[in-house]
Structure 1
Amino acid sequence: MPMTCSLPAPRLLDPASVPSLRWGVIGTGIAAKFVRGIAARTQQKVVAVAARDAEKTRDFAAEHAIPTVHPDVDALLEDDDVDVVYIATPHPLHREQALAAIAAGKHVLIEKPIAMSAGEAREILDAGRAAGVLVTEAMWTRYLPQADVIRQVLDAGALGDVSLVRADFGFVMPMDPEHRLWSPELGGGAMLDAGVYPVSFASSVIGRPSAISAIGAVAGTGVDAAANILVDTEGGAQAVLSTSLLASLPVEASIHGSAGRLEVASPFFGPTGLRLVLGSIGGDEIATWTDGTGGELHDGLGYQATAFAQFVGEGLVESPVHPHEEIVSVMATIDEVRRQIAAGA
């Protein structure tokens, strides 16, 4: 990257250059966006689906031209025409379904958060490695074009010594004890649903925390309703992160260093744009980059499917841009934040 204030082009992976895998989908919620993203941006094929509600599953398959509807998860896992299983069910089901898919010899992509705790995440990822299959969390942000631009900026040292990361993701969710976001039994709470994004973003920049401090709010149902987090690292860099089900947050992220800052436009977890600011106050140099691929926001989910297929083709059992140890570390951070908020309630 040149010394002048500029942003590099993303290094995009050609969807035609990777194996066209056959995907089986478990669940029909966020899975609709994933299946659309595959159709819009990849040469991957969704060939089967299974979910709890038989009628909804048939309608889902018809809407997305999925040829096979299985009566249950076990039948999908026994399908020899399925290479990869995409798990898009509520968080508390991830561990059992992932372990079953691994035991069936399938590669597995698991919606975030990968599990309900760091311990469960470790169990899933270790099982995948032992079985020789690729298993990872569907943190799609890592595979977006802008994520590659960010990596190039950091690798070039354009920001100087990075000392601070800021990120937030929050929205107003009306209280309904029956809704999954407010239900402990369904893995509710701000941290598991939205907070995983800012925590994972900070981790991708400054690495594993050495200390975590959190304050927040607990809902009447017992789940965390909001969290404000300060992260320290051994290298001295810090992160200030927020998530909420009570307040509408900007959903922005930024990386700050001794030579400048890099801002990620809202919503930072999806394909948006970047603003690089170098220099001191009054003498700033500014460069911008905008994702111009068009389509719907979640069409960007296709990038991770293409990357996943590349990794399978290379015989990898973990994602190079989202390693197993980091997935576990992010879950450990979420565990600790939830513990501190519950203890302070």
Structure 2
Amino acid sequence: MSARRKVLFIFSLLFIIIIMAVVSISLGAANITIWDVCSAILNKFFPDHFNPSEFAEFVVWQMRIPRILMAILAGIGLAVAGTIFQSTFRNSLASPYTLGVLSAAAFGTSLATVLGIERSMVNLPIAIMMSTFVALLPAFFIYRFVKRKASPEAAILIGIAFLFLFSILTPMLLLFTEAGVAKESMFWMSGGLDRASWTEIGIVFFTLLFCIPLLLLKSRDFDMIADTKYITKEEKTRNAGIFIASLMSAVIVCFTGIIGFVGLVAPCTTKTIIGGEHRFLIPASGLLGGVLLLGLDALARTIITPVILPVGFLTSLIGIPLFIYLITRIVIRSEHR
């Protein structure tokens, strides 16, 4: 695919996100139309020309838009993180979920809650740092293991072991908490977008605004890392990539819980369509992740109205078949060597 078509693909995804966002705001248990949505949004900028109901304004600005923006940002962040992990480990099975990064971050967030660190503007950075620190443990452990010429399959098996480890440790941690805190922590284990606030959206947005341009500046280095053997001068780029991808994943988990497989599905699909050139792959994969999570969130809010399903359940329903397919393809290739 030519560079021009790749750029067109990226802008097409951006257009799809905008259309899906407007439509998604009108979906849910609260009965509001697309005109109500447009009227409530435009009234913020042109208050003399539109007159939406207070109910429509509340639903749009306090319930729907924060949730949808978090879905887009979380999808972008997880997909970009997955792209970097796949390139760094040179493994199409690598993602924040399959490497155990998301479950580790959820454990760190739960630990912060158990220790009494409230989710206020003062203490929130502490919770994020704890989540990031724990998330880095499996990522760098697996990387050091891979550096010793371990097979890509072994790296993923270790990642899955970390996933199970932290998935067990988190419920064990909850045994020492009050019922209310336990319920709060279980939210992070199942993954959801219903608690998104404007403050949290701002934190995730500025995290991505800081991290993604740094990755784009190193896009040529990631091209080399993905296609060649380990070289000493690439070590800093690998470490930086792992740290940035883990940071984005940890910040997102702090506010959405574990939303698995977005970081696997979006990069693999995008790479199949436009190839592995990272200056195009990073933004395209991120936007496709936003489209995917936005669509699944709309489905989660409408499939069993008025019940809202955890969006993490739906991402797993899509991601697990792809994960099995990729494993099967790797096994078949190894048998023909």
User: Structure 1 length as normaliser, TM-score?
Assistant: 0.28
> Higher strand proportion, which one?
1
Higher relative contact order (CA 8 A, sep 6+): 2
> Higher helix proportion, which one?
2
User: Structure 2 length as normaliser, TM-score?
Assistant: 0.28
